[in-house]
Structure 1
Amino acid sequence: MFSSKAKGIEWILDNDASSAAVLVASEAHAITLAIEGLLGVVFTVATLTDEAVDVGELESPRYEHHPSSDYYTGKTSHICISMVDSLWLTILDAFSLILSRSQGEAILLEILKGYQAFTQACGVLHAVEPLNSFLASLCKFTIVLPTDTERRSSLVQSPMSKRSEIQVDQKDAIVLTPKNVQALRTLFNVAHRLHNVLGPSWVLVLETLAALDRAIHSPHAITQEVATAVPKLTREPSRQYADFSILSSLNSQLFESSALMHVSAVKSLLSALHMLSHQSMTETSGSVSSASSKQIGSISFSVDRMISILVNNLHRVEPLWDQVVGHFLELAEHSNQNLRNMALDALDQSICAVLGSEQFGEDPPRSRDTTLDVESKSTELKSVECVVLSSLRGLYFSAQKADVRVGSLKILLRVLERCGEKLYYSWPGILEMLRSVADASEKDVATLGFQSLRVIMSDGLPTLPEDCLHVCIDVTGAYSAQKTDLNISLTAIGLLWTLTDFIAKGLHHGCQVEKGSGFSNVDTSPQQTNGEGVEEHVVSNSNKPDFEARIQIVNHEKLLFLVFSLIQKLVDDDRPEVRNSAVRTFFQILGSHGNKLSKSMWEDCLWNYIFPMLDSASHKAATSSKDEWQGKEIGTRGGKAVHMLIHHSRNTAQKQWDETFVLVLGGIARLFRSYFPLLESLPNFWSGEWL
């Protein structure tokens, strides 16, 4: 009857039909009329609710709900509320019964339209109990997963025969009937219509969508038509997965549409996702097993959808960030290794998505008429950038497990590689984090931290705020002095040379050449610095939102001496390779940039660094032990330890310090050859203190 009606044909019983047929047809006709009457009531409630919205008695579900004292006081809205309160139980029981007994496409579509209309009316009226009841009932018809009992029963009944492979596939099979597919479509329609007013009711929807997600990614999921009509070896992928492709697309579109939702509605959706994930977290043990695959799947679904919501709401990410990342940080401390890896990957995607968004790629206008807009924009960017990177720092410092600390450093490395040039306000926190990593005892942790520092030195120095340069020097010095990995120390000393090259550019551009002497007369007071240097500084920072507020005349002389102080400490290191590398680097720096130093700077170098370095090396060479060293043990032979041989020229501490002393003397000799005409003009050069 419903099929005929759907085709526009009025059903009529033939006059010459048998009495039995007439009786059956009469009952069917009565049921049809009853269903039409029931649907008529439902659509009447839905129509009246829409009219109440149109006349302003009710708020549209497209907007955020703000209940007021005069809410529901209109005549039409009062009628709707009364009808829903008195009818919803009866309608729900009838719809549920009819839907469970019906298989015809026409009647299924009509009943599901009724479900959708009444559920949406309950949502608009904020009738929470009817809304949740109808959603729960609808979700029961969407997807049915095989229970553990059914799986065991199927396994027990499977004989050891040639058909055992088919039985194994069947025990985990997830079959979606046309009724399931249409019910899922109806659920998506309801969720799209009521996304701003569902609130806590999202949990019911998300549980179903998580089950759908597991079914879509299950190798045993099939549709009923394909399962019954097409042999296993001849199934066409396009036919088998057509419904799954459509449902997967609808699933993704629901969360992509969160960009159109109100912020409070998005927070409700995130809260429901967190609740769904948390329920599964409490049920998941430390080891992953088949019994926990459902829980892992629900958590993965929640995490993926949180990322999707964040990516689609980058234009208003700040009010949502803590809620999203808070759950990732919670997962990162879970006892399950897979969940920790999932959390770290999600945090990586989230941070890179935010920092890679368009709002971090725009240059601020330089017009003075737009100063207020620039300040407002810079304040917003500063807040977002600091909030995003602080979560990574918090994870590293609070992590109890080594793999989480390693994972957080990997995230930082990828962030610096992909988005380092866009960072500005968060550099102090990043450098603080890298400074603490330098003291770590784990070699892999120190290595990852140093890789991040190398990225900064290679690509990030031009965009690094100049008031952070002294911190960057301190961090590089910390990696030079660490004892975990010798190669890191040697490479870090080379990075100090890179830093001085960058600092020396400031000396060159900020100085005035002293005629006739070959020296650069540097005046480091802000008041007397020439305008050209300031202008260049402004241009170099004009790509930052608050560059006018952050302009500082950095004392490049102090920065250079800070590097020299670090090198001077490294010259006293007990590792010969480190101190010798420090000596070479020190004299190479002076040899390369000596013509940019003022007279006062050269005097400081001579009396505070060069000659004290010579005295220290001479004293250590004279007082160090003459006992021979044994090389590293490399095995045993005849029950005795076998040590690596050390060349006779460096097999004692004194010989090693002699080599350092020779390097210092050679460096001083090269400086005197290159700059002696300049050095002898210093007032105290011939005072005799160093002769």
Structure 2
Amino acid sequence: MTASACENQAAKMLEALQSDLKSLCMETKKRYPHIKDSCEEAIIKVRGASMNPQSSLSQITSQVLYPLVQAAETKDAKIVKLSLSLMQRLIVAGVVDGCSGEHVVETLWMLMEAGVEELKVLQTVTLLLTTNPAIQGHSLAKALVLCFRLHFTKDATVVNTASATVRQLVSVVFERVVAEDAPTQTTTTQQQQQQHEEMPRGEEGESLERGGAGGEVNFEELKVRSASPPKTLHPAAADAYLMFQDLVQLVNADEPLWLLGLTEMTRTFGLELLESVLTTFPTVFYNHPEFTFLLRDRVCALVIKLFSPNIKYRASVPASVQQATPLDKPYFPIAMRLLRLVSVLIQKYYPLLVTQCEIFLSLMVKFLDGDRPMWQRGLALEVLHKLATQPALLHSFCTNYDMKPHATKIFQVTQPALLHSFCTNYDMKPHATKIFQDIVNSLGAFVQSLFISPQSSSPGVGGGGGVGGGGVGSGGGQSPQLLGGMPVGPGVSPQPAFFYRGVYLPLCVTIPTGQAKSSYLEMLDKLEPPNIPEGYGVSLAYYCLLDIIRSVHLVMMGPNALTEGSSEQYSPTAEERKVHEQLVNSAWCGLLAALTVLLEACTDEAATESILKAIQTFASLAGKLELTTPRDAFITALCKSCLPPHYTLTVLNNASVAASASAAAASSSSSSSAVGRGHQRTPSQEAQQQQQQQHQYYDAEVRHQVVAVGTALATPSLPVGAQQGPVMLTNKNLQCMRATLSMAHCHGGVLGAAWHLLLTTLQHLVWILGLKPSTGGSLKAGRSTAETNAVITTAVIADLPVLSSMLSRLFESSQHLNDVALHHLINALCQLSQESMELAYTNREPSLFAVAKLLETGVVNLGRVEVLWRPVTNHLLEVCQHPHVRMREWGVEAVTYLVKAALTHKHTPPLKDNQAALTHKHTPPLKDNQKLQTLLLSPLSEVSLVGHPDVRQKQLESLLHILHSCGELLHHGWPLILNIIGAINDNHSEHLVRLAFQCLQLVVTDFLPLMPWACLPLTVDTAAKFGSQTQELNISLTAIGLMWNISDYFYQNQEKLRASLTPDSQVFPDFPGVPNMPPFDKLWMCLYARLGDLCVDSRPAVRKSAGQTLFSTIAAHGALLHHQTWQAVLWQVLFPLLDKVRQLSDSASTDKVDQGGKHSYPSLTPLETFPVPGALLLDFIHTAALSKSNEVSLAALKSLQEMLQTGRGATPTPQHTSNTTTNTTNNNDTNTHKHTHTYTHTTPYTLVRRCDRQLEYRLEGLAHHRI
């Protein structure tokens, strides 16, 4: 504001002041002339001040106030009113100094005692204290006492105005302290921070050494109540200290030390003032150790004292037996304000009051006991709900300060985490009360107590309910069709409620998540306890439980955990993890005990959904911490809710018993023990539970609509014939099923071994609903009722495809799991499938759910096939061998589908958003990756070991499909493919042989050029196998034709084969006597040897076709062989074949020739002594010519004739001898055979041709005889 503006404002103020003084002068002119004279003098002073700008109004304040005080002494209402108005004008102008202010206060005190213009007096006091900080010490105390005394007058208007004035002025006193601290705040921040860092969380005398004025604090002096403030405090802080001390004194029914003259004070009003100060000015108590001492030594002692009547009183004990005196009975206004004050102390001062807060919380927990009046329990629940909604925003408290320089610590930042603090300061300390655990367990015990068998309500103090409150008595005994006056049943939408064991409790309040909404804590105008509506207790407990889980979630996952798009990554420090584990361990038992009851009792879909989400959240938190017991316990509760009450599932019952035992062992307090006993299901309780099951089942029927009726799935642990009756599912069961699917979908990475619990439950639900596996592993509803044995209502028919889709999405989402989590899922599916296999061994219908979902899981995770392939396919191969037809059908279906999908899958590096598969990159691609091809085809190959024809048929059909769809990619997989084709034998049916041969035909006709050379001998062997099979003659003949095609391929690709072939001993058989045979010749030798074997087949057509093919092959392509290879052709193919033919010919004739085994070939003759093979050939012809069989004899003579003719025409002159002819035999060699002169220059090829002709003739003669 500019100087001229200030001057104008002062001038106007002086003019107004003159006008008011003139009015007062006129009013007192007749009756009070002395006042008139004083006013005129004051007017002259004011006029002089207005004419002299250099003068200040403050210099004449005393002269102006004098007539005003005189006017107030008249106690004339009109004059007093004018006087007070002038005083207020002076106060607003800021010209009243400390001395003048004392006169004003004395004047106001006089008017208060006279009862004149009380409202105007209150206005003046308010203006004086709010605008003039100079009013301190005794004057301030007297002004406050003035307002307090006016608060207790009889005029309601004055009382209300005084009440508001007192509240305002008490705040003004503390605001002065804040303002007084502000100038020194920047210079003391570092010192204060160091002090609080060293503070051992509430131990007095440790960090409270230095006071606000910089002096040493003497705590021994502070313990002595005195009207003098501590010397270490500045003036404003000293006034606030003395005022707060007297407020505590007055509430404690003691005499004030500073507020002298205050003769009466209600405890309720005093508690409200204390609450207001503690709520608004926590920095004062943190920054001044003197105030901290008051808080710890005086306020906490007062609170504990006032708690006593509330703790001792028992609503269920007759009044004649009560130990408390009538004055000690709990009084609702005090109890309510006391709990409000406790709530503030815990929320804002727990770092300073760790020990005291432990006591407060322990006492508050006792308010929830079943023998308390219901209004007490309601008040305690509202406070606990406030505490439960405090999320974890800081991982440590009182040690974290604002990171900005020179900032105020503690409460200028966001509130620390209450639950985190309780757990850190109580539950994790040795020999300390586990407060957080007690709070949660008391809530659990409270919820369970509400659903005890209904009793008549016993009235509490002021009409409150007795045991269980009003929520138990009135509605509990009514018929389920009309509960609490509300209709319940199918087709009716009643008020949301909880109905359990005949007790009906409505959900009567709605509170937004994360917010506390108090009703009875806000009833400051009530003198008697209100009537608590039925259901209020369970409603508050319900919201408390949900918010506790929400807060634990925020503690662990951070303040942004609930926002959309937030990451669920959990990476705590070691210290944080320790705190989080304690949070979960302390909370899970009580939460589970309460939530399971509420979930079963809830009749509202929205409330049920909230409970289910809370269970999912807590189970996931336990899973992130790898706390298996609480995780499995919550998942078990979730799974049980999906099934009817009477449904017996051993795996869930065992998990429940184990969790209850762990909870009982972990519980140390009485409340936790009660919860453990309430939740535990011991063997001795089984009989009682069985009796209750049917009753609970009908309760469920009343509350929820039946939407499906089916048969129970048998389990290996149950005897044959158990659970043969119909099973009914309600809409609530399906809602819980959807929640279970959501749990597995969203939190599958932390389920671990609990996958088995979830999948077992889903398998039973799928069975009851009649969902059957279809292609690819997805589930679909059965086509007819007879097929599924399930009756589905129209209400759920549309939901079945949705549920099926959710199931498929669940397993599709497994592609986002890490490798460890994926293995847990696969292990659970394998375990589930193993149980179904055991069931099928007893001739009971098994579920195919696990096999189908193994397939579905495998298909979506082909991006990391190395991780899952072996465990999945190994189990499916076991299923393929099962004697149960449907079981093995789906086993081979899964194996073959998986192999086909894997071979057509693009094994390329995964996208960056799929972190699970990023570590599994397939380089090189499938076509060039031998390891990957072998991995993928091995399961299909191992199916060949299964003896069931239907399995083999599916295998071969899949192989044919693979060859058609991706045969060109299988460069390294041909050995496995050929082994699969060649695994067919005579024991298999004609259909299987034909199917396998179709595969072979496709291989030979289309894929020989793509096949590596090492597979060619195996291809020849496989074709020969089909030539020798006896199921179908045409296949044998066609197979021999394929061998001709193979020989033609060898011939046409000889250059390529010669370049690629290597002498691999593992590929080619050993050919003795020719150590350096070229690999290309070995390939031909394999073909000749297999054709030679077929030449002696038992079937004439096969023998003839094989012989013709062999001879034609040698004739057409024999010239490709190297010189030394002919020795192997003669001694390992042709001569052994001649010998076999001779033996077979002899056995076919009527007179057997005794010379059948005359010639044997123990060793090979070197090629240089070539006449030996010719002699053996002549000897063979000689023997055959003498055969009694005309056909054989004629064939031998024809062969001899051709040899003679060929021999004469093939004798070369020396100059025409080529590299392919043999050297002439040395005539001087005495060891030369006697027929040497006839074949001196005969080539090996010519000799082989003669052997071929001889064999051809012999085979033609042999073809007319049966062997």
Fold shared per TM-score above 0.5: yes
Measured at CA, do residues 249 and 608 of structure 1 come closer, stay the same or move farther in structure 2, by a change above 3 Å?
same
**2: CA distance between counterparts of 1:33 and 1:123?**
28
Using CA pairs under 8 Å that are at least 6 residues apart, name the structure with larger relative contact order, 1 or 2. 1
Q: Which residue of 1 aligns with 2:763?
A: 210
Is 1:49–1:124's contact at 8 Å kept on the other side of the alignment?
A: no
Aligned to 1:496: 1043
CA contact (8 A) 2:952 2:992 kept: yes
Answering whether residue 1114 of structure 2 is matched by residue 567 of structure 1, we say no
TM-score by length of 2: 0.38
2:87 is matched with none
Match of 2:887 among 331, 339, 345: 339
Deviations 1:349-407 (A, max 9, x none): 1111112212399xxxxxxxxxxx9975579932222223233333434x465665565
Residue number in structure 1 paired with 2:535: 28
Q: Aligned partners of 2:954, 2:1100: CA distance in 1, in Å?
A: 34
Letter in 2 for 1:423: L
Aligned-partner Cα distance in 2 for 1:302–1:591: 60
Equivalent-residue separation in structure 2 for 1:354 and 1:562 (angstroms): 34
Residue 469 of structure 1 deviates from its aligned partner by: 0.8
Q: Name the counterpart of 2:615.
A: 115
Distance between the aligned counterparts of 2:992 and 2:1135, measured in 1?
A: 35
Distance 1:461 1:662 in 2: 42
8 Å contact from structure 2 (residues 908, 922) kept in 1 = no
CA contact (8 A) 2:636 2:757 kept: yes
Report 1:139-178 matches (<5 A).
Answer: 139-144=639-644, 175-178=728-731
State the AA in 2 paired with 1:301: F
In 1, Cα distance between equivalents of 2:792 and 2:560: 53
Q: Aligned partners of 1:379 and 1:599: how far apart in 2?
A: 35
Work out which of the residue numbers 349, 364, 380 in structure 1 matches 2:897.
349
How big is the shift at 1:451? 3.9
Q: Which residue of 2 aligns with 1:50?
A: 557
CA distance in 2, matches of 1:560, 1:593: 9
Range with bigger deviation, 258-267 or 596-605: 596-605
The C-alpha deviation readout for 1:489-526, integer Å capped at 9, x for no partner, is 3222111111012111113x569xxxxxxxxxxxx5x5
Aligned residue runs from structure 1 range 399-438, under 5 A: 399=946, 404=951, 408-432=955-979, 434-435=981-982, 437-438=984-985
Could you report, residue by residue, the CA deviation over 1:398-449 in whole angstroms, capped at 9, with x for unpaired residues?
A: x465665565555544444444332232333443454454475766665554
Matched, 1:183 2:736: yes
2:804 pairs with 1:248: yes
How much does 1:468 deviate? 1.6
Deviation at 1:137, TM superposition (A): 0.9
By how many angstroms is 1:309 displaced?
1.1
Q: What is aligned with 1:648?
A: none
Q: Against the structure 1 CA distance between its residues 563 and 665, is the aligned structure 2 distance closer, same or farther, given a 3 Å change threshold? A: farther
Distance 1:84 1:462, change over 3 A: same
Aligned CA distance change for structure 1 residues 103 and 310 (closer, same or farther; 3 Å)? same
Percent of aligned positions that are identical: 26
In structure 1, the gaps of 5 or more residues are 14-21, 154-166, 224-231, 362-372, 512-523, 527-533, 538-552, 629-651
Query: Aligned partners of 1:392, 1:273: CA distance in 2, in Å?
Result: 21
2:761 is the alignment partner of 1:193: no
Unaligned runs of 5+ in 2: 1-495, 497-506, 521-528, 649-689, 695-707, 712-723, 773-778, 782-789, 910-920, 1062-1076, 1152-1186, 1223-1238, 1251-1267
> In 2, distance between residues paired with 1:186 and 1:395?
39
For 2:1053, what is the secondary structure of its paired residue? Answer: helix
- TM-superposed deviation, 1:272: 1.0
Question: What TM-score do the two structures reach when normalised by structure 1?
Answer: 0.67
User: How far 1:146 moved relative to its partner?
Assistant: 7.8
Cα–Cα, structure 1 residues 147 and 47, in superposed 2: closer, same or farther, change >3 Å?
closer
CA gap 1:575/1:118 in 2 versus in 1, 3 angstroms: closer
**Distance of 1:111 and 1:234 partners within structure 2:** 27
Provide the rounded CA distance (Å) in 2 between the counterparts of 1:446 and 1:276.
Answer: 36
Encode CA deviations 1:218-237: one digit per residue, 9 max, x unaligned: 59x9x9xxxxxxxx99986x
In 1: Cα distance, 2:633 partner to 2:606 partner? 24
User: Is the aligned partner of 1:283 residue 2:283?
Assistant: no
Determine the C-alpha separation between the residues in 2 that align with 1:215 and 1:667.
83
Can you list the C-alpha shifts for 1:153-186, whole angstroms capped at 9, x where unaligned?
9xxxxxxxxxxxxx99899766543322332232
Distance in 2 separating the partners of 1:472 and 1:451: 14
Deviations 1:15-49 (A, max 9, x none): xxxxxxx9997122333223222222222112212
2:750 match: secondary structure: coil
Amino acid in the other structure paired with 2:626:
H
Who wins on radius of gyration, i.e. which is larger?
A: 2
- Residues 577-601 of structure 1: CA distance to partner in whole angstroms, max 9, x if unpaired? 112112332344467668x847959
Q: Which amino acid aligns with 1:564?
A: Y
Partners in 1 of 2:950 and 2:881 — Cα distance? 10
Q: CA deviation at 1:82?
A: 2.7
Paired residue for 2:575? 73
Please point out which of 544, 550, 553 is paired with 1:37. 544
**Are residue 327 (structure 1) and residue 875 (structure 2) matched?**
yes
CA distance in 1, matches of 2:1211, 2:509: 108
Q: How does 1:91-102 map to 2 (within 5 A)?
A: 91-102=591-602
- Provide the C-alpha distance between the structure 1 equivalents of 2:753 and 2:1129, rounded to a whole number of angstroms: 73
Report the alpha carbon displacement of residue 71 of structure 1 after superposing the two structures with TM: 5.3
Aligned partner of 1:639 in structure 2 is none
Contact 1:620 1:654 (C-alpha < 8 Å) held by counterparts: no
| SS of the residue 1:478 aligns to | helix
SS of the aligned residue for 1:462 comes to helix
Q: Is the 2:927–2:970 contact (alpha carbons within 8 Å) kept by the matching residues of 1?
A: no
- Report the Cα distance in structure 2 between the residues aligned to 1:663 and 1:141, rounded to whole angstroms: 93
For the structure 1 residues 686 and 606, does the alpha-carbon distance in structure 2 shift closer, same or farther, using more than 3 Å as the test?
Answer: farther
1:358 pairs with 2:906 = yes
Equivalent residue pairs, number: 560
Aligned to 1:90: 590
- RMSD between aligned alpha carbons? 5.2
Partners of 2:1202 and 2:1033 in 1: how far apart?
23
- 1:473 equivalent to 2:975? Answer no
Instruction: Report the Cα offset of residue 455 of structure 1.
Output: 2.9
**Structure 1 residue 329: Cα displacement:** 1.9
1:187/1:34 CA distance change after superposition, 3 Å: same
Do residues 386 (structure 1) and 934 (structure 2) align? yes
| 2:908/2:925 contact within 8 Å kept | no
Residue 820 of structure 2 aligns with which residue? 264
Shift of 1:324: 0.5
CA distance in 2, matches of 1:343, 1:653: 61
**1:487 paired residue number:** 1034
Amino acid at match of 1:473: V
Quick check: 1:314 aligned with 2:862?
A: yes
Query: Which residue of the other structure, out of 829, 846, 850, is the alignment partner of 1:302?
Result: 850
1:120·1:193 contact (CA, 8 Å) conserved in 2? no
Preserved contact between residue 621 and residue 654 of structure 1 (Cα < 8 Å): no
Q: C-alpha distance in 2, partners of 1:686/1:360?
A: 67
Contact in 1 for aligned 2:907/2:922 (Cα 8 Å): no
Alignment check: 8 A CA contact 2:709 2:768 kept: no
Aligned-partner Cα distance in 1 for 2:983–2:791: 59
Equivalent residues in 2 for 1:507-518, closer than 5 Å: 507=1054, 509=1055
